[in-house]
Amino acid sequence: MLDTGRTARRLESYVQGAWRAGQGEGKPLANAATGEVHAYIGSDGLDFAGALDWGREVGGKALRQYTIHERALMLKEIGLKLMEMKDEFHAESLATGATARDAWPDIDGGIGTMLTFASKARRELPNAKVIPEGAVEGLSRDGSFVGQHILVPMQGVAIHINAFNFPVWGMLEKIAPALIAGMPCLVKPASATAYLSELVVRRILEMGILPDGALQIICGGVGDLLDHVTGQDIVTFTGSATTGRKLKSHPAIVENSVRFTMEADSLNAAILGPDAAPGTPEFDLFIKEVHREMTAKAGQKCTAIRRVLVPKAHEQAVIEALSERLGKTPLGLPDDANARMSALASLGDRDGVREKIAEIAREAEIVFGDPAKVALVSGDAEKGAFLNPVLLRCADPMNASAPHDIEAFGPVATVMAYEGLDQAIEMAMMGKGSLVSSVFTNDPDVAAELVIGVAPFHGRVMLGNRDSAKSSTGHGAPLAPLVHGGPGRAGGGEEMGGMRGVKHFMMRTAVQGTPRLLSAVTGEWVAGAPAEQGTHPFRKSLAELSIGDQLVTERRVITEEDVEHFANFTGDTFYAHMDSDAAKANPFFDDRVAHGYLIASFAAGLFVQPDPGPVLANYGVDNLRFLTPVYFGDSLQVQLTCKQINPREGTIYGEVRWDCRVTNQNDEVVAEYDVLTMVAKSWPLPQE
Ligand code: NDP
């Protein structure tokens, strides 16, 4: 139910270890759909510099005591608990003008994004405080000087200045990677919908899972906060290009080279392929998607479709089909089941959108909807920020600027016809950089030409066709494993993108030195670093195993019978193993060679210790390369070294990565790879 008659809440900020209200009553925040005062906001008198210090000194230091997996597990626990509380967030979300369908990507999507980060981090990053990145680079002939990149958390505060339209997702998709990286966060939600962000932060802090100082929130203006940023802080901004530019050029940000990520407005396009004529599934999907993107969250989405690019031949059909669908979009209160769309976030937003429509209409005609009139199934058109969808058509899009430049942040889009794919690409680029475009086609050539043509101007391009009609996540949804952001007008930032998102909050440092010292820094064995031979390393549990524990095996001679047997047994009778003349004709071989997989199998036969023991399973190999051909009579030996130990939190095992090097009688490396195993933390296994 909407909150008629409830007492408006004074929002507080959580800074320096306590919830604090700013001075005075605060500024009233209206319920978007009813106009009633829902909350009061204000942060006057707070110590913003103190909040930053608290984050750095208390939050950052505490977070850095934990490993990446430990931090990710905190977020998993928080995410699961937030899921249980989501009804409370959905109830609060009604005040933002979001219907249940609108709120789902914000609330459930935001928590889901946090959980995805928590899970991917434990799968893809080491359970360590330092992330080694990429291969070890040899920097000297004798191997005594090598280099590698490492990532460590920045020691400042991640300041997230967020937009009003996704008060939950916009916050969680940023704090999740930052906290996993080990950076404390200070969230500044947009005032208009800060009550929902504040509620979620309250619930998170009440859980007592995060160390103090790891998460702070400022509800209201940020005062002199940015005057106190240092080169170790990171600022992420989502909102208007004007504010973004202003903040990006703040003297302290410029002087201290503060990492600043900006995600601003964007005139995203949906492009209908020439093959997608009326009557095709792609045409119908296109209409459905444009309609959805115009009406979801009343068009107040950074990824919403603003420009509808269609082949000239299908322009009229698109306008008719869209108009028909928009005409069946009842507008009303967010909790009214009969309403398909609800209010904008504020009356001010509605005025702004109307002004923008008028500006676009100087170069386009309105073909559906009257921006001045509001038709509702429920609610009050004067008090609530309702606006019916408006569709425009621009007759001369290649010579127009307003439809490509002016973002009406509401249920508004402009249809523009193109002639030929080159023109479609040029038109998409006239948005000067967007977060996302979608291409609807069933023709692979059209897909390739359009995507490659528009990609330099987009952070994401979605292809829509009949085969993904049911499975597609849609044009508008940024996804945790994929990047979100866009060049140029879209702000030039990049968020999420899987573990890239975590690394945005870390410092990448190139470390150079001897293998022994590099190994000490990264916690991973590096070829050339000291190794310890003794007890077979497969007899050691994680408690006993150390980086550098090594086994050098006996030798095994490869015979023609071995190769024939393997070929006939497996069915791999490729000529290079079976036919001497054919093998000799091959530029890589002097004669018949052993199968690469035979070498890997014999290597396992050489290094394995067969008795039941702490090595529980082999789950694969990484980076397998066969480097030198193996001929009959060659004698192989394996050097297996413990390279990385990754204990899994909350389980009885961990992952161990072994450096495996197979050499021949001339000490030439014939095969090289990482063997991946699960090893028990203690042996014998604990009794249940
Ligand atoms: P703003 O740029 O005004 O606000 C964005 C954020 O910046 C808010 O948290 C705002 O806080 C904060 N902010 C504003 N001024 C300052 C300042 N001087 N110092 C520090 N923080 C500041 O954008 P709006 O939210 O009003 O949205 C306006 C337009 O932004 C939309 O019409 C749309 O074009 C675009 N937009 C783009 C989005 C995207 O995802 N790309 C999302 C939402 C909007 P406060 O609210 O307290 O002023």
Contacts of 470 (CB under 8 A, 6+ apart): none
**pLDDT tens-place string over residues 383-411:** 999 999 999 999 999 999 999 999 999 99
Q: Can you say whether the dihedral through the CA atoms of 86, 87, 88, 91 is positive or negative?
A: positive
pLDDT of 613 over the 70 cut: yes
Question: Has residue 2 got a pLDDT over 80?
Answer: no
Q: Which atom of ligand 1 is nearest to the CA of 161?
A: 9
Among 430, 486, 432, 431, smallest CA distance to 459 is for 486
Q: Is the CB of 407 under 6 A from ligand 1?
A: yes
495 Cβ inside 6 Å of ligand 1: no
Ligand 1 centroid to residue 180 C-alpha, Å = 26
Q: Is 27 in the pocket of ligand 1 (CB under 6 A)?
A: no
CA distance 612 to 524: 27
Mean model confidence pLDDT for the chain: 96
pLDDT digits (tens, 9 = 90+) for 77-91: 999 999 999 999 999
Checking if the pLDDT of 673 tops 70, the result is yes
How far does the centroid of ligand 1 lie from the alpha carbon of residue 393, in Å? 28
Q: Can you list the positions of beta strands (E) in 48-139?
A: 131-138
| Bridge partners (DSSP) listed for residue 436 | 460
Q: Is 519 exposed, middle or buried (0-12, 13-18, 19+ CB in 10 A)?
A: buried
Select from 305, 296, 276 the least CA-distant residue to 414. 305
User: Does ligand 1 come within 6 angstroms of the Cβ of 218?
Assistant: no
Atom of ligand 1 nearest to the CA of 41: 47
Residue 350 is which amino acid?
A: R
* Residue 170 Cβ < 6 Å to ligand 1: no
Could you tell me the distance, in angstroms and rounded to a whole number, from the CA of residue 513 to the centre of ligand 1? 46
Name the closest-CA residue to atom 29, ligand 1: 240
As a whole number, mean pLDDT of residues 556-579 equals 98
Residues involved in catalysis: 263, 302
Q: Could you tell me the distance, in angstroms and rounded to a whole number, from the CA of residue 248 to the centre of ligand 1?
A: 13
pLDDT at residue number 5? 56
Angle at 166 between CA 15 and CA 304, to 5 degrees: 155
Can you tell me which atom of ligand 1 is nearest the CA of 170?
40
Distance 162 CA to ligand 1 centre (A): 7
* 161 CA to centre of own chain: 18
Instruction: Point out the ligand 1 atom lying closest to the alpha carbon of residue 349.
Output: 32
Residue 42 Cα, ligand 1 centroid: separation in angstroms? Answer: 16
pLDDT band at residue 551 under the 50/70/90 scheme: very high
Interacting residues of 588 by C-beta distance below 8 A, sequence separation 6+: 629
Q: If pLDDT is split at 50, 70 and 90, which confidence band does 429 have?
A: very high
Q: Quick one: pLDDT band at residue 345, thresholds 50, 70, 90?
A: confident
Rounded Cα distance between 456 and 644, Å, is 38
What pLDDT score does 31 carry? 93
Q: How far apart are CA 593 and CA 571, in angstroms?
A: 16
Distance 239 CA to ligand 1 centre (A): 4
265 lines ligand 1 (CB under 6 A): yes
Q: Where are the beta strands (DSSP E) in 535-652?
A: 549-557, 615-626, 635-647
Residues 88-137 have pLDDT tens digits of 999 999 999 999 899 999 999 999 999 999 999 999 999 999 999 999 99
Q: Is 48 in the pocket of ligand 1 (CB under 6 A)?
A: no
Q: How confident is the model at residue 1 (pLDDT cuts 50, 70, 90)?
A: very low
Q: CA of 221: how far to CAs of 12, 22, 39, 54, in Å?
A: 12, 10, 15, 19
How far is Cα 448 from Cα 470, in angstroms, rounded to an integer? 22
Q: Name beta bridge partners: 483.
A: 496
Mean pLDDT, rounded, for 639-654: 94
pLDDT band at 241 (very low <50, low <70, confident <90, very high): confident
From ligand 1's centre to the CA of 96, what distance in Å? 15
Q: Give the residue, out of 217, 243, 260, 436, with the most ligand 1 atoms within 8 A of its beta carbon, to mutate for a pocket test.
A: 243
- pLDDT-derived band at 263, boundaries 50, 70, 90: very high
For residues 404 and 418, what is the distance between their CA atoms, to the nearest angstrom?
14
% of the chain with per-residue pLDDT over 70 = 99
Closest listed residue to residue 680, CA positions, set 619, 613, 622, 597 = 613
Question: Which residue lies with its CA nearest to atom 24 of ligand 1?
Answer: 239
Report how far apart, in Å, the C-alpha atoms of 85 and of each of 94, 95, 199, 527 are: 15, 17, 11, 50
When pLDDT is averaged across residues 514-534 and rounded to a whole number, the result is 96
Residue 56 is predicted with a pLDDT of 98
Write the DSSP string, 113-176.
HHHHHHHHHHHHS-SSSSEEEEEEEE-STTSS-EEEEEEEE-SS-EEEE--SS-TTHHHHHHHH
Is any ligand 1 atom within 6 A of the Cβ of residue 165?
yes
Q: Which residue's C-alpha comes closest to atom 4 of ligand 1?
A: 239
Cα pseudo-dihedral 130, 135, 136, 139, rounded to 10: -130
- Asked if 54 and 17 touch (Cβ cutoff 8 Å), the reply is yes
* Residue 640 · residue 624 · CB < 8 Å: no
188 in contact with ligand 1, CB cutoff 6 A: yes
Beta-carbon contacts of residue 658 (< 8 Å; ≥ 6 apart): 537, 640, 641, 642, 643, 674, 675, 676, 677
Distances (CA, A) of 456 to 382, 428, 487, 635: 43, 11, 8, 52
Question: Is the distance from the beta carbon of residue 222 to the nearest atom of ligand 1 less than 6 Å?
Answer: yes
Query: Beta partners for 14?
Result: 19, 217
Q: By alpha-carbon position, which residue is closest to atom 25 of ligand 1?
A: 163
Nearest atom of ligand 1 to the alpha carbon of 263: 41
Q: Are 583 and 592 in contact (CB under 8 A)?
A: yes
Q: What is the pLDDT of residues 154-181, one digit of tens each?
A: 999 999 999 999 999 999 999 999 999 9
Average pLDDT over residues 461-475: 96
Alpha carbon distance 185, 452 (integer Å): 37
- Check pLDDT > 70 for residue 3: no
String of DSSP letters for 366-430: EEE--TT----SSS-TTTS-----EEEEES-GGG--HHHH----SSEEEEEEESSHHHHHHHHHT
Q: For the residues 525-529, what does the mean pLDDT come to?
A: 95
In short, whether 409's Cβ falls inside 6 Å of ligand 1 is yes
| Nearest protein Cα to ligand 1, atom 30 | 240
Measured from the CA of 409, which atom of ligand 1 is nearest? 32
Q: Which atom of ligand 1 is nearest to the CA of 491?
A: 41
282 Cβ closer than 6 Å to some ligand 1 atom? no
- Asked if residue 160 lies in contact with residue 495, where contact means CB atoms within 8 angstroms, the answer is no
DSSP secondary structure string, 434-476?
Answer: EEEEEEE-S-HHHHHHHHHHHGGGEEEEEEE-GGGTTT---TT
Q: Is the pLDDT of residue 326 over 70?
A: yes
Task: Report how far Cα 532 is from the mean position of its chain's Cα atoms.
Answer: 40
Q: Is 239 in the pocket of ligand 1 (CB under 6 A)?
A: yes
Question: How far does the centroid of ligand 1 lie from the alpha carbon of residue 423, in Å?
Answer: 33
- Please classify residue 619 by burial: count the beta carbons closer than 10 Å to its beta carbon, then call 0-12 exposed, 13-18 middle and 19+ buried: exposed
Return the bridge partners of 550, or none.
533, 641
Asked whether residue 523 carries a pLDDT value surpassing 80, the answer given is: yes
Q: Ligand 1 centre and the CA of 373: distance in Å?
A: 27
| Sign of the alpha-carbon torsion through 523, 526, 529, 533 | positive
- Average of pLDDT values for 564-568? 97
Residue nearest to ligand 1 atom 13, measured at CA? 243
CB atoms within 10 A of CB 612: 9
Residue from 43, 240, 303 whose mutation best tests the ligand 1 pocket (most atoms within 8 A of CB): 240
pLDDT of residue 7: 84
Cα–Cα distance, 71 to 153 (Å, whole number): 12
pLDDT at 688 over 70: no
Q: What was the pLDDT predicted at 650?
A: 87
